[in-house]
Amino acid sequence: MTVSVWGPVHQDMTALLTGQPDDVPAVVDQLTKLQDILERVPPLLCSNPLADFNKLYLHITTTVLDRLYEGRFADPAFLSRLDVEFAARYFEALRHWSQGSAACPRVWSVLFHRVGGPDCRPLPSAAAGVNAHINFDLPFALVTTFDYFGSDPVDDGDQHADYLQINEIFADAIPGLRRGYLEKWQLLIDTINGDLDDWWQGETIEYARNVAWRNGQRLWSVRHDLPATAKERERLDSNAAALGRLLLSPLGALLQ
């Protein structure tokens, strides 16, 4: 075997990824441990782009967990399961990457490739992770979650409302990031094409997540049809990967 992608933390990483969290507290726990490991990956250590994303994701999941305890969701069982399914995809992508498997979605490989450098700005890194997670993983997580509950994705139900509540959590998390990380962001947003503008600004996450909801509904309708699902997966992966590459390109670095 060639040198591990994780360098000296390879063993820790492999051990951590054997865990398959099945509830939200366990997801938070796993993300916390992952953060610790990621910050030890040379050469970038704490400025490793994946650590930037993971930090944001950990923050968001912790908020979700708090809201679950506070009873803020209409259908917590649904939301918990979605959170678990959602995270499982991220962990699985990491697992595939660790094993050098071709099954690792391209949209994630784009980001994972950058773990070893060159250095990348935190915001575009986090954004690339959010992109992979929302534009690619989320629709699939939605489908498996609905399948588990034997219900289906219907607009305006309890589950849709809960799902949209996550928008708030993302929106709350991101201005903080922005204050911490960037000034020129706003300027750059204006110069980039409308798609990305929509994606990031104002309706940013909301826009992307609504797209994910629609994509989820589309996947749902073909979920028994394996070739069609594979095709859909391919489409989502290559679209999201293109966006991810853009975010991590020198253009993305300008964002900061």
The residues of the shown chain that bind other proteins, judged by CB under 8 A, are: 20, 22-26, 65, 68-71, 74-78, 80-81, 85, 88, 103, 140, 143-144, 147-154, 156-159, 219, 223-226, 229-230, 232-233
- Nearer to other proteins by Cβ, of 52 and 75: the residue is 75
End-to-end CA, the chain: 38
Instruction: Compute the least distance from the CB of residue 165 to other proteins, in Å.
Output: 14
| Integer Cα distance of 145 and 152 in angstroms | 9
Instruction: Compute the least distance from the CB of residue 104 to other proteins, in Å.
Output: 11
| Integer Cα distance of 165 and 70 in angstroms | 14
- Nearer to other proteins by Cβ, of 98 and 229: the residue is 229
Phi, psi of 231 (to 5 degrees): -65, -45
Instruction: Compute the least distance from the CB of residue 186 to other proteins, in Å.
Output: 37
Contact between 75 and 150 (Cβ < 8 Å): no
- Nearer to other proteins by Cβ, of 45 and 77: the residue is 77
Q: Which has the closest alpha carbon to 90: 71, 75, 69, 111?
A: 111
Q: Taking the CB of residue 128, how many other CB atoms lie within 10 A of it? A: 29
Instruction: Compute the least distance from the CB of residue 105 to other proteins, in Å.
Output: 9
- Nearer to other proteins by Cβ, of 112 and 200: the residue is 112
- Nearer to other proteins by Cβ, of 86 and 185: the residue is 86
Q: Name the amino acid, one letter, at 121.
A: R
Contact between 124 and 256 (Cβ < 8 Å): yes
Instruction: Compute the least distance from the CB of residue 184 to other proteins, in Å.
Output: 38
- H/E element, 180: helix 158-181
